[in-house]
Amino acid sequence: MNSFLRCEKWRVHGRVQRVGFRHFSMRAAHRHRIQGAARNEPDGTVEIIAIGTPSDLEGYYRDILKGPSLSNVTHVERYPINYDTITLDAYDLAF
């Protein structure tokens, strides 16, 4: 992995399921040159793996905080993770 890239796991809270949030996250990822994946979690959150430069991640984060029009994001937990530990096939939407 490029040393200029960061890898983070995000847990998005609020009204984020059944509102098109994962597809919104994929479109936003493309705009910000982010690679990763998203999945719905049983607790009603959406988990996102985001890989990109620090500035691209920040732009993507701002979009995620807004979400699609039917969503209501209350907060996002962000955790740095090691790129080597990611298993994207566990996610239902890769981008």
User: Catalytic positions, please?
Assistant: 22, 40
Sequence letter at residue 69: S
| Nearest residue to 47 via CA among 19, 16, 74 | 16
